[in-house]
């Protein structure tokens, strides 16, 4: 009984299995030994987990708590510790009209921009990534070379590649405009990064260019694990390759694709570098991260910026939890 309480206080998840285990063992004469073994195992597990938990607490937990604290003060960049506790006023407050982040149309604009950017860029990356992976999975001469070359966009630091793209997209000297003009597709140079209707697409194009290799790599790994004999069976049965792709290949690579998508989605939801380099603080491409940085650094308002960061964190957490929940439900139902 004492063991059980100990386990319950120490770890909920372990306790669930522990309890089932104990239940099983309840009438068994080996119960005594079983609990001791179990206890030793739990202790060993904690021992192994401890370093990671400590590191996580230091590098993730502490900043998070600190940010959360700042978000409830009116601290500014010049006097970090001089902030007064003001409750949730940074988030929302009524003072002859609504104030605070939640009442700032710019914030909601940046939330919408972020979601739009995430949805479009990750969808494109998923589709293109699968296509690229399928091509790289085929047998052709120089395949290894192409595989290595494909990884280059992913290997270049984002700031560098974004700067390269910024020059290529430059309205005066950019090679993209030059080529489009040369081909006669446009009559006048487009200002890709300045034009509000184009800049979001410019940013998406660059992000897709950069991140597609990542998706392709994960999917390629999954493709290479596929049972080749299934494809021969499908061939003998005369099933159309397109049908084979949607009914056999896609379901089998789905787990890998879902992992790739969640990685990409998390990256995209807190996107900063590529957008900041390409369009700086422009409203049409302002994302949550850019908004938070602007408040925090440019307006020196640490409290307000921290509140924005906290909201960003909560939105990402919410989306992740929902995604994982749906993903697990679907995977669980499928297998």
Partner 1 sequence: MAGVKLERVNKRFGSTRVIDDVSMAIGDGEFVVFVGPSGCGKSTLLRLIAGLESITNGDLLIDEQRVNNLTPQERGIGMVFQSYALYPHMSVYQNIAFGLKLAKTDKQTVDERVRQTARILQLDGLLERLPKALSGGQRQRVAIGRAMAREPKILLFDEPLSNLDAALRVQTRNEIAGLHKRLGSTMIYVTHDQVEAMTLADRIVVLNAGHVEQIGTPQELYERPASRFVAGFIGSPRMNFIHVEARTGNDRGCRINVPGVGERDLPQQLPADAVGERLELGVRPEHLHLTPAAQGEGVEVVNVEYLGSEAYLYLQMADGELLVCRTEAPSRFERGERVTLDFDADKVHLFDGEGRALPVADAARRSDRHSEQAPT
Can residue 333 be called a binding residue for partner 1 (CB under 8 A)? no
Instruction: Count interface residues toward partner 1 (CB under 8 A).
Output: 18
Rounded to an integer, what is the distance from CA 10 to the centroid of its chain?
A: 31
Give whichever of 130 and 265 is closer to partner 1, judged by the CB atom.
130
Inter-residue contact 213 to 153 (CB < 8 Å): yes
Residue 309, token pair as written in the block: 């960061």
Shortest distance, CB of residue 224 to partner 1, whole angstroms?
A: 16
Inter-residue contact 249 to 223 (CB < 8 Å): yes
Q: Among 41-49, 114-122, 176-184, 222-230, which window interacts with partner 1 (CB under 8 A)?
A: 222-230
Q: How far is CA 139 from CA 134, 232, 252, 254, in A?
A: 10, 16, 20, 22
Candidates 237, 242, 332, 333: give the one binding partner 1 (CB under 8 A).
237
Query: ∠230-236-237 over CA atoms, to 5°?
Result: 90
Shortest distance, CB of residue 309 to partner 1, whole angstroms?
A: 41
Instruction: Tell me whether residue 67 is exposed, middle or buried, using C-beta atoms within 10 angstroms of its C-beta: 0 to 12, 13 to 18, 19 or more.
Output: buried
Q: 3-state secondary structure string, 201-268?
A: HHHHHHHHHHHHHHHHHHHHHHHHCCCHHHHHHHHHCCCCHHHHHHHHHHHHHHHHHHHHHHHHHHHH
Can residue 40 be called a binding residue for partner 1 (CB under 8 A)? no
Candidates 87, 332, 333, 334: give the one binding partner 1 (CB under 8 A).
334
Candidates 61, 82, 227, 241: give the one binding partner 1 (CB under 8 A).
227
Candidates 239, 259, 283, 319: give the one binding partner 1 (CB under 8 A).
239
Q: Among 121-129, 232-240, 283-291, 298-306, which window interacts with partner 1 (CB under 8 A)?
A: 232-240
For 161-188, give one letter per residue: b (16+ CB within 10 A) or e.
bbeebbebbbbeebebbeeeeeeeeeee
Inter-residue contact 290 to 275 (CB < 8 Å): yes
Can residue 329 be called a binding residue for partner 1 (CB under 8 A)? no
Q: Among 46-54, 110-118, 196-204, 248-256, which window interacts with partner 1 (CB under 8 A)?
A: 248-256
Shortest distance, CB of residue 230 to partner 1, whole angstroms?
A: 5
- Cα gap 88→65, rounded to integer Å: 15
Q: Among 35-43, 124-132, 229-237, 322-330, which window interacts with partner 1 (CB under 8 A)?
A: 229-237
Which residues make Cβ contacts (< 8 Å) with residue 122, sequence separation at least 6? Answer: 261, 264, 265, 268
Can residue 332 be called a binding residue for partner 1 (CB under 8 A)? no
In the region spanning residues 80 to 139, those forming contacts with partner 1, defined by CB under 8 A, are none
Shortest distance, CB of residue 263 to partner 1, whole angstroms?
A: 23
Shortest distance, CB of residue 330 to partner 1, whole angstroms?
A: 12
By the criterion CB under 8 A, which residues form the site for partner 1? Answer: 227, 229-230, 232-240, 247-248, 251-252, 334-335
């Amino acid at each position: 009984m004492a063991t059980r309480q100990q386990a319950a206080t120490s770890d909920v998840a372990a306790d669930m299995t522990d309890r089932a285990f104990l239940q099983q063992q309840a009438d068994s004469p080996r119960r005594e030994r079983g609990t001791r073994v179990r206890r030793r195992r739990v202790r060993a597990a904690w021992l192994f987990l401890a370093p990671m938990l400590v590191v996580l607490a230091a590098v993730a937990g502490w900043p998070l708590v600190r940010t959360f604290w700042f978000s409830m003060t009116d601290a500014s960049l010049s006097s970090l510790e001089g902030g007064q506790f003001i409750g949730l006023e940074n988030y929302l407050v009524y003072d002859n009209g609504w104030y605070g982040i939640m009442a700032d149309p710019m914030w909601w604009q940046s939330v919408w921009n972020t979601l739009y950017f995430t949805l479009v860029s990750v969808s494109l990356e998923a589709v293109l990534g699968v296509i690229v992976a399928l091509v790289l999975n085929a047998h052709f001469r120089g395949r290894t070379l192409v595989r290595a070359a494909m990884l280059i966009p992913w290997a270049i630091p984002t700031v560098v590649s974004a700067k390269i793209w910024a020059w290529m997209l430059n309205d005066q000297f950019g090679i993209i405009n030059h080529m489009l003009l040369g081909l006669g597709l446009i009559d006048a140079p487009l200002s890709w990064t300045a034009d509000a209707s184009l800049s979001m697409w410019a940013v998406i194009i660059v992000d897709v260019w950069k991140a597609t290799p990542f998706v392709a790599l994960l999917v390629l790994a999954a493709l290479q694990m596929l049972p080749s004999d299934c494809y021969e069976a499908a061939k003998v049965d005369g099933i159309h390759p397109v049908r084979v792709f949607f009914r056999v290949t896609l379901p089998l690579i789905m787990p890998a694709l879902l992992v790739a998508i969640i990685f990409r989605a998390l990256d995209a939801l807190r996107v900063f570098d590529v957008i900041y380099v390409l369009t700086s603080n422009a409203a049409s491409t302002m994302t949550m991260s850019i908004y938070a940085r602007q408040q925090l650094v440019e307006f020196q308002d640490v409290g307000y910026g921290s509140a924005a960061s906290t909201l960003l964190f909560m939105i990402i957490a919410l989306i992740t939890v929902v995604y994982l929940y749906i993903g697990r439900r679907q995977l669980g139902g499928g297998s």
